[in-house]
């Protein structure tokens, strides 16, 4: 399955490169119309559902197309929950930044200080990798979710399969020897954020899910956001997630129930458009972090002339200027968001099909519409 992809980095950069020129400035209803047209196009491309949000200041508008359940044909709901995949990473980095602000660790601490022996195989050395390098994806560590691992995840035959974080790290370390020294090269790997979650536990004695819940979800009132640690189900009002298995475009599988332990602190969370927008605004606007940590969050490792990576968030240049963004891609779901510097202008979108390959026609079309809608705000 050569088309399998396990990171959202390639998706984010590829889709950003494909966006069309932004339209002239427009009001929020105008941005909504652009997003709605993109949602309809995404459904015409084959997505079961596309939902989206544009927000400027206190004004929010939604876009919605398709059905949230292909069996019942229930119309999609922009308030529905979905798996956010790698958008979990910003929650994880926020906790570590808060812990630094409290003096409980430094992002320049080595991984070995908090996790002795956890990165010590095949030429990798945790005494040379910092927590910051985990968060900005410059650690040099490889991805664990490749090859047969990803194939088995995509088959989804064992949604309750337990994966201890150290087991995932060990898979990564064994996959290949280092190709660059820590701090030298940017390379997206879920391994970095699995380790970041392990650091949270080492510092606090609690799981990343507990810390994220108490530090972010509850204070911000994100009532439709959760961090499941073992239960593969979604409850309440949610979009079903689907996949078109590669090579079988006329078969669609319901993959709503899937293994959350596969990605953990790198990608296990569930949320909604509104909750994600609230979190992003609080994060980028300085509500969650003191000024020093806000600066660290937004200090980027270079990827290209038009993109960089902060601590769990991308910085990318669009036709209308620079924006913060990140995508989340897990079995059955693909989501993406854009925001200006302080979170006062935002677009968020979620699609209910992902088969671990990117980009698809639907991703390209909905991304074009989303960026144009954001640039119209």
Annotated catalytic residues are 86
What are the DSSP calls for 180-203, one per residue? S-TTT-----HHHHHHHHHHHHHH
Q: Cα(188)–Cα(207) distance, rounded to whole angstroms? A: 23
The alpha carbon dihedral of 314, 318, 320, 321 has a sign of positive
> Based on C-alpha coordinates, what's the Rg of the chain?
19
Strands 49-56 vs 82-83: parallel, antiparallel or unpaired: unpaired
d(CA 74, CA 122): 51
Closest CA to 344 of 317, 363, 320, 324: 324
Please give the biggest Cα pair distance in the chain: 55
Distance separating alpha carbons of residues 100 and 266, to the nearest angstrom: 20
Neighbours of 301 (CB within 10 A): 19
Q: Are strands 301-304 and 270-271 parallel, antiparallel or unpaired?
A: unpaired
Q: Which token pair is 88?
A: 């979990």
């Amino acid at each position: 399955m050569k088309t399998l992809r396990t990171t959202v980095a390639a998706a984010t950069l590829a889709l950003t490169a494909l966006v069309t020129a932004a339209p002239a400035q427009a009001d929020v209803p105008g941005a909504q119309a652009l997003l709605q047209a993109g949602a309809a196009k995404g459904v015409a491309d084959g997505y079961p559902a596309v939902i989206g949000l544009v927000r400027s200041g206190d004004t929010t508008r939604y876009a919605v197309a398709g059905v949230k359940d292909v069996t019942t044909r229930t119309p999609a709901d922009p308030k529905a929950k979905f798996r956010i995949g790698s958008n979990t990473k910003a929650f994880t980095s926020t906790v570590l930044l808060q812990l630094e602000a409290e003096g409980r660790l430094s992002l320049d601490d080595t991984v070995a200080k908090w996790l002795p022996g956890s990165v010590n195989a095949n030429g990798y050395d945790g005494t040379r990798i910092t927590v910051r390098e985990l968060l900005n994806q410059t650690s040099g560590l490889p991805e664990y979710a490749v090859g047969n691992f990803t194939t088995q995840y995509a088959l989804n035959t064992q949604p309750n399969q337990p994966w201890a974080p150290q087991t995932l790290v060990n898979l990564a370390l064994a996959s290949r020897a280092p190709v660059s020294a820590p701090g030298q090269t940017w390379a997206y790997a879920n391994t970095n954020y699995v380790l970041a979650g392990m650091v949270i536990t080492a510092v606090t004695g609690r799981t990343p899910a507990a810390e994220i819940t108490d530090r972010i979800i509850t204070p911000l009132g994100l009532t439709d956001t959760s961090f499941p640690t073992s239960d593969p189900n979604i409850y309440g009002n949610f979009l079903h997630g689907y996949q078109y298995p590669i090579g079988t475009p006329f078969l669609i599988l319901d993959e709503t129930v899937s293994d959350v332990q596969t990605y953990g602190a790198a990608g296990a969370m569930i949320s909604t458009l509104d909750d994600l927008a609230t979190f992003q605004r609080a994060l980028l606007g300085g509500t969650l972090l003191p000024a020093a940590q806000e600066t660290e969050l937004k200090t980027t490792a270079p990827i290209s002339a038009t993109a960089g990576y902060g601590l769990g968030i991308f910085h990318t240049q669009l036709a209308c200027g620079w924006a913060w963004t990140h995508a989340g891609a897990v079995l059955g779901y693909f989501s993406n968001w854009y925001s200006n510097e302080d979170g006062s202008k935002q677009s968020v979108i979620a699609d209910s099909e992902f088969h671990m390959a990117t980009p698809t026609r639907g991703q390209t079309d909905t991304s074009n519409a989303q960026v144009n809608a954001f640039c119209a705000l």
